[in-house]
Amino acid sequence: MTTIGAGETVIQEITIKAPAKRIFEALTNPERRKKWWGSEGRFQATHVESDLRVGGKWTMSGIGFGRPFTVKGEYRTIEPPHVLAFTWLPDWQQNPTETLVRFDLTEKDGLTTVRLTHSGLTPEGLQAHKGWPQILVWLRDYVEH
């Protein structure tokens, strides 16, 4: 996994032994996302809603570090199985600003490189969103098994 600091943007990459189509499905299907997004007792999504179309809304809620959380947004780019981008507005951050999360999936020889770019973060938001490496590991573990 690679971490690249770019000011108010978080960029993470991970290589997964799975086709891009399977990874895209795990990112976009609400029932599948609920299964992998989290770790019991730490941070866990328990409810996901998704209107998968450009302009469609999505919501995810659960328990994070002992407290309820909700994050919501709107889909901006959907190009199966290679690109998914959506806005991100978390309720756990004080004075949150809407940011953009983008997944780029590049498949080659049975491996898919997943590049996550979370842009538009304030310095406080950058501090509050250091969990992406763990989230990508949960995604990898789910789609590889």
Q: Give how many domains the chain has, as a whole number.
A: 1
Write out the DSSP string of 50-96. Answer: E--STT-EEEEEEEETTEEEEEEEEEEEEETTTEEEEEEEESSSSS-
CATH at 97: 3.30.530.20
* Arithmetic mean of pLDDT, 109-132: 87
pLDDT in tens, 30-75: 999 999 999 877 889 999 999 999 999 999 999 988 899 999 999 9
**Using CA atoms, how far apart are residues 117 and 122, in angstroms rounded to an integer?**
14
Q: At what angle do helices 132-144 and 20-28 cross, to 10 degrees?
A: 120
| DSSP 3-state of 136 | helix
The pTM (predicted TM-score) of the whole model is 0.91
- What residue numbers bound the domain in which 12 lies? 2-144
